[in-house]
């Protein structure tokens, strides 16, 4: 949870960046030629940063860009998978949370960064980024010869009114970037082989309107009931000639299989079968995507697909809402909102999700499907 002391921490980070920029040696350039971007997180974290990444590329078109990133745990998808076919970064350096505090790893990373000859480091942190993390990387990058820093700031209370996309663009305003720099959809680039795979996977549903449905979520408190998804899916199949395309991670195979069995022949179960590139290509072919608050929701709107997003009340509104003007968010106010818990501490099934009815979800989906 954000506290007012973040303002004090931000002043310390700004002071640290100023002092480190005055150290002797290192690389100094009014026009940076080698830029390192620091951004951590999984799919959603990376996607909301895409406009900031592209705005930086437009602002410094002749620079070489390196992304330093971590999807936290091993096996979790992140920037490397998301940007496989995108020339946005010239190099991507990936590390994991279990090695980020090891001195041997940090020493090797410092030497690698020094070899790249970075002359400006830009941080684009999210709301969970800690002071210790930003301060550590300010010091490590300075040790590697970096003398210019931008964006090394934690989230302050007033910024909880902003979506992540807008906040990150605001953070880069000292570099001459503003919110008008937001890029049109699609933001992601599947490869040609991904497109071919998507066509084959969706072939059984040709002649019907594809509706993507993601019934899972990393946090249990974000999961609308599978039975509610089933009810919506059945009615879309029967009344709107829809083919339901079920997506899900490998951990969600059992749940997506159960939903698919209930929906019958006009459901295509892709749970655990779609690497990121294929997922992008599949979602691009869907008329609308219905999803819980999770990474696949961000992939859907990033591909330009109209998105209906179901949000619990565990966290502040706006911050992680889908971006753009073809999105509908369903979220209910409740007395225990903003608990910031991954598992609802009060109800076996989160009350804020129970208040969202299949009827209103169906109505929201049809606002896009019946246009």
The tens digit of pLDDT for each residue in 208-252 reads 999 999 999 999 999 999 999 999 999 999 999 999 999 999 889
Residue 278 lies in a domain: yes
Does residue 195 have a pLDDT over 70? yes
Residue 186 lies in a domain: no
Residue 274 lies in a domain: yes
Tokens of 328: 């509908």
Does residue 339 have a pLDDT over 80? yes
- pTM: predicted TM-score of the whole model, two decimal places: 0.92
Percent of the chain scoring above 90 in pLDDT: 78
Is 182 or 57 the better-scoring residue by pLDDT? 57
Does residue 2 have a pLDDT over 50? no
Instruction: Kindly state the average pLDDT of the residues 114-135.
Output: 92
Q: How far apart are CA 261 and CA 258, in angstroms?
A: 5
Instruction: Kindly state the average pLDDT of the residues 25-30.
Output: 84
Please indicate, yes or no, whether residues 165 and 196 belong to a single structural domain of this protein: no
Residue 185 lies in a domain: no
* Coil, helix or strand at residue 291: strand
Please indicate, yes or no, whether residues 122 and 214 belong to a single structural domain of this protein: no
Q: How far apart are CA 305 and CA 286, in angstroms?
A: 7
What per-residue confidence (pLDDT) applies to 76? 81
Domain boundary among 179, 203, 238: 179
Please indicate, yes or no, whether residues 264 and 221 belong to a single structural domain of this protein: yes
Distances in Å between the alpha carbon of 218 and those of 76, 206, 221, 338? 11, 31, 9, 18
Please indicate, yes or no, whether residues 205 and 256 belong to a single structural domain of this protein: yes
CB 369 within 8 A of CB 287: yes
Q: Residue 145 half-sphere exposure, CB side, CA atoms within 13 Å?
A: 19
Cis link prior to 186 (omega < 30° from 0)? Answer: yes
Does residue 181 have a pLDDT over 70? no
Alpha-helix runs per DSSP H in 144-275: 164-171, 192-202, 226-240, 253-263
Residue 319 lies in a domain: yes
* CATH code, 220: 3.40.50.2000
Does residue 350 have a pLDDT over 90? yes
Please indicate, yes or no, whether residues 255 and 348 belong to a single structural domain of this protein: yes
Please indicate, yes or no, whether residues 30 and 148 belong to a single structural domain of this protein: yes
Q: Name the domain count of the chain.
A: 2
Instruction: Kindly state the average pLDDT of the residues 326-341.
Output: 95
* Structural domain of 83: 5-179
Average pLDDT across the chain, whole number? 93
Residue 320 lies in a domain: yes
Count other C-beta atoms under 10 Å from residue 367's C-beta. Answer: 14
Please indicate, yes or no, whether residues 50 and 11 belong to a single structural domain of this protein: yes
């Amino acid at each position: 949870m954000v506290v007012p002391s973040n303002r004090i921490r931000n002043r310390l980070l700004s002071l640290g960046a100023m002092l480190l920029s005055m150290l002797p040696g290192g690389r100094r350039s009014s026009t940076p030629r080698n830029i390192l971007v620091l951004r951590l997180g999984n799919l959603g974290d990376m996607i909301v940063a895409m406009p900031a990444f592209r705005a930086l590329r437009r602002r410094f078109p002749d620079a070489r860009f390196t992304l330093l990133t971590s999807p936290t745990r091993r096996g979790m998808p992140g920037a490397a998978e998301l940007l496989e076919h995108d020339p946005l970064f010239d190099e991507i350096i990936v590390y994991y949370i279990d090695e980020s505090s090891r001195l041997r790893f940090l020493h090797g990373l410092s030497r690698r960064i020094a070899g790249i000859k970075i002359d400006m480091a830009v941080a684009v942190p999210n709301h969970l980024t800690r002071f210790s993390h930003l301060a550590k990387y300010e010091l490590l990058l300075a040790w590697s010869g970096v003398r210019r820093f931008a964006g090394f700031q934690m989230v302050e209370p007033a910024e909880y009114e902003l979506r992540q996309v807008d906040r990150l663009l605001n953070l880069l305003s000292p570099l001459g970037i503003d919110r008008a720099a937001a890029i049109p959809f699609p933001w992601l680039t599947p490869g040609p082989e991904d497109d071919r795979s998507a066509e084959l996977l969706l072939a059984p549903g040709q002649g019907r309107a594809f509706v993507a449905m993601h019934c899972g979520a990393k946090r249990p408190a974000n999961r609308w009931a599978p039975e509610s998804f089933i009810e919506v899916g059945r009615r879309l199949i029967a009344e709107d000639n829809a083919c339901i395309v079920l997506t899900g991670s490998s951990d969600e195979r059992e749940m997506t299989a159960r939903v698919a069995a209930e929906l019958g022949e006009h459901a295509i179960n892709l749970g655990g079968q779609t690497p990121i590139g294929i997922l992008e290509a599949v979602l691009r072919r869907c008329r609308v995507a219905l999803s819980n608050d999770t990474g696949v929701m961000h992939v859907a709107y990033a591909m330009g697909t109209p998105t209906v997003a179901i949000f619990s009340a565990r966290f502040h509104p706006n911050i992680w809402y889908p971006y753009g003007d073809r999105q509908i968010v369903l979220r209910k106010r409740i007395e225990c909102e903003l608990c910031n818990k991954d598992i609802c501490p009060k109800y076996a099934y989160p009350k804020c999700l129970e208040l969202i009815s299949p009827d209103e979800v169906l109505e929201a989906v049809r606002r896009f499907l019946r246009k």
